[in-house]
Structure 1
Amino acid sequence: MTSDQTMIIGFAALIGVLYLMKIRSYDMYEKEPLLTLLAVAIFGGITAIAISLFLYDFVEVRHNFLDAVFKIGLIEEASKLLALMFVYLFIRKDFNEIVDGIIYITAISLGFAVIENVFYALKDDQAILTIVMRSLTAVIGHIAFSGYMGAAFIIHVKIHRNYSGLLLALALSALAHGLYDGVLFHERLNFLFIFVFIVLVMGQLWMLKILLGFSAFREELTDASFTETGETVSLHCPHCALSEKPKAVQFWNIRAAICDFCGHLLVHNQNIRHLTTYFRPALNARSFTKQLTRKNRSEFLDSNQKILFDAKSMTLCAKPAELGTWLAGTNIADRERILGLPLVGFILKHLGMRYLMPLRV
């Protein structure tokens, strides 16, 4: 192996590790061991590549839209699913949270894409540029294709036999892969590439957030959840109107305050988004926060009038335990609303999410 080849492989691997760390950051409640993810990316990626190369020996592929879906997409996505089934034999203990199916098949897809990048780069005079460009498109694409299969598979092995969900997931992944390749192969459809790319990536992130809403590893918000930081903050308490320098507290990356007089939790402005992200992951936290901050008057967010949003100070105010109960209830409502959507809900249910209601796993 020449020094140039070593540099190409090293550069592609470095980008892969950075992506792997980013993927791991989405696993909010119970992060998978980084070394385990790295091993799955390497050995799962090699396994998926080997299976796909074997299958390609029996299929003639042309660069057109139909072959992109029914040959390339089906072969490569089936290879990733088989690789996940194989590595699952070695990671059963870590495969314990509902989002782990997506996290681990994403690692396999990443390994697959990095190896594919090396193959392309070694045959190109501008190897580094090839790796960079493919890392911004093909790598993210591979990650975005396969999550459906990861979701269906963990439901199959941990919750309920889900053979129809696995078949649907494989079909969706192959279709997503085929759409990506198809718009690139067909010159008249090239203009759709950015749109297809964004839709695939956003769809994958949304499904991950929906599954996070079912996680049993998410902590419940109680009086003991927040830890004092030893600081005070300048924040008005909308409930009692007495505290002006409440104690600063923190949980996860949510910074808040506790009123010295009434004991209400005070969550200000941007931290409302962090609170929503953690406790209501399926909801668009940014949009929810913007809707709150646009309000012209203070109002209670619940029917029991326990959760107060003060428009003047941009502060959410409630007893921690009562806020926790409200967040848990609205998280369930978020899940039910999404699964009740006409087309999207039908697809998600038949991927296997109907077996999750009302479970947290």
Structure 2
Amino acid sequence: MLLLSLLAAAIAPGIALLAYFYWKDRYDVEPLPIVIRLFLAGALTVLPVMVIQRALTLWLGESPFAFSFLISAGVEEFIKWFVLYHIIYNHTEFDEPYDGIVYATSVSLGFATLENVLYAFNEPVTFGMLLARALLPVSGHALFGVFMGYSMGKAKFSAGKRVPLLLAAAFFLPFLAHGAFDLIQQTVPPEWLWVMVPFMLLLWLRGMINVNRANSVSPFRMIKREEG
């Protein structure tokens, strides 16, 4: 019973956040099978990411900066970007800018959820610790997905020289946010970790601005208005 409770506590935050961003799509909700497939694809990236991170740790050492920006954020966000671009970017169901956010958060939360499950079963944890992870790493991954998906959604519906710049931004924006997130955790003493609260609030604020902007330029917006 305890194991099932831990498993549920580890999985629930990722599912809840994915449902939240999925239903924020105001005009054309994405096919659930594709969203689930991308969530599972994100989970499957955990093993190769762990292997690459282990090799980089042996090569680069464990300095806070190297860990935060190269080993953690660099590897994780690049793999998510790679999966997102090669699986869904050219898919016919990617038909409005907000879709980038739905698909990117699916990949990102798939990764974060399996990572959370492994943490729950490999470390001595309490439900309080899992709650803290839900509020920090798991929601952090969701927001990194929002930043990635927003830029990728803009790239999908842009043309010319803007496209490669926006695709690059789809990696670099979540990479910088993720690296800063990890660097704070690596360098700030535990009694000062409250500074993460305003940082997370800023991430959420930026993320919700992206959500609203992506919805506001949906090509289905006028269709919904006419139907209403």
Distance in 2 separating the partners of 1:67 and 1:142: 17
**Alignment size in residue pairs:** 221
- Name the residue aligned to 1:119: 118
> Is the contact between residue 44 and residue 87 of structure 1 (CA under 8 Å) also seen in structure 2?
no
- Name the residue aligned to 2:19: 21
State the 1:117 CA deviation: 0.7
- Name the residue aligned to 2:56: 59
Q: Greater helix percent: which structure?
A: 2
Distance in 1 separating the partners of 2:196 and 2:13: 23
State the 1:5 CA deviation: 4.2
Distance in 1 separating the partners of 2:12 and 2:71: 30
Cα displacement string for residues 224-245 of structure 1 (whole angstroms, at most 9, x for unaligned residues): 655xxxxxxxxxxxxxxxxxxx
- Name the residue aligned to 2:201: 198
For residue 67 of structure 2, give the secondary structure of its aligned residue in structure 1: helix
> Is the contact between residue 101 and residue 150 of structure 2 (CA under 8 Å) also seen in structure 1?
yes
Please tell me whether residue 33 in structure 1 is matched to residue 28 in structure 2: no
Residues 74 and 212 (structure 1 numbering): CA distance in 2 closer, same or farther, change over 3 Å?
A: same
State the 1:96 CA deviation: 1.1
Residues 217 and 70 (structure 1 numbering): CA distance in 2 closer, same or farther, change over 3 Å?
A: same
- Name the residue aligned to 2:183: 182
State the 1:73 CA deviation: 1.2
What is the TM-score when the length of structure 1 is the normalising length?
A: 0.55
Structure 2: segments with no counterpart, 5+ residues: none
> Is the contact between residue 70 and residue 174 of structure 1 (CA under 8 Å) also seen in structure 2?
no
Residues 93 and 182 (structure 1 numbering): CA distance in 2 closer, same or farther, change over 3 Å?
A: same
Q: Deviating runs (4+, > 4 A) in structure 1?
A: 3-7
Distance in 2 separating the partners of 1:75 and 1:221: 40
Q: How does 1:33-112 map to 2 (within 5 A)?
A: 33-47=31-45, 49-60=46-57, 62=62, 64-88=64-88, 92-112=91-111
What code does the residue aligned with 2:165 have? S
> Is the contact between residue 148 and residue 173 of structure 1 (CA under 8 Å) also seen in structure 2?
yes
Q: How does 1:1-361 map to 2 (within 5 A)?
A: 4-47=2-45, 49-60=46-57, 62=62, 64-88=64-88, 92-160=91-159, 162-187=163-188, 190-219=193-222, 226=228
Q: Greater strand percent: which structure?
A: 1
Distance in 2 separating the partners of 1:192 and 1:118: 26
Residues 134 and 191 (structure 1 numbering): CA distance in 2 closer, same or farther, change over 3 Å?
A: closer
State the 1:81 CA deviation: 0.6
State the 1:197 CA deviation: 1.0
For residue 180 of structure 2, give the secondary structure of its aligned residue in structure 1: helix
Distance in 2 separating the partners of 1:148 and 1:51: 23
What code does the residue aligned with 2:179 have? G
For residue 221 of structure 2, give the secondary structure of its aligned residue in structure 1: coil
Residues 66 and 29 (structure 1 numbering): CA distance in 2 closer, same or farther, change over 3 Å?
A: same
- Name the residue aligned to 1:263: none
What code does the residue aligned with 2:210 have? M
% identical aligned pairs? 24
State the 1:191 CA deviation: 4.4
> Is the contact between residue 51 and residue 79 of structure 1 (CA under 8 Å) also seen in structure 2?
no
- Name the residue aligned to 1:351: none
Cα displacement string for residues 201-245 of structure 1 (whole angstroms, at most 9, x for unaligned residues): 2111111211212110113687x655xxxxxxxxxxxxxxxxxxx
Select the structure with the greater relative contact order (CA < 8 A; seq sep ≥ 6).
2
Q: CA RMSD in A?
A: 2.6
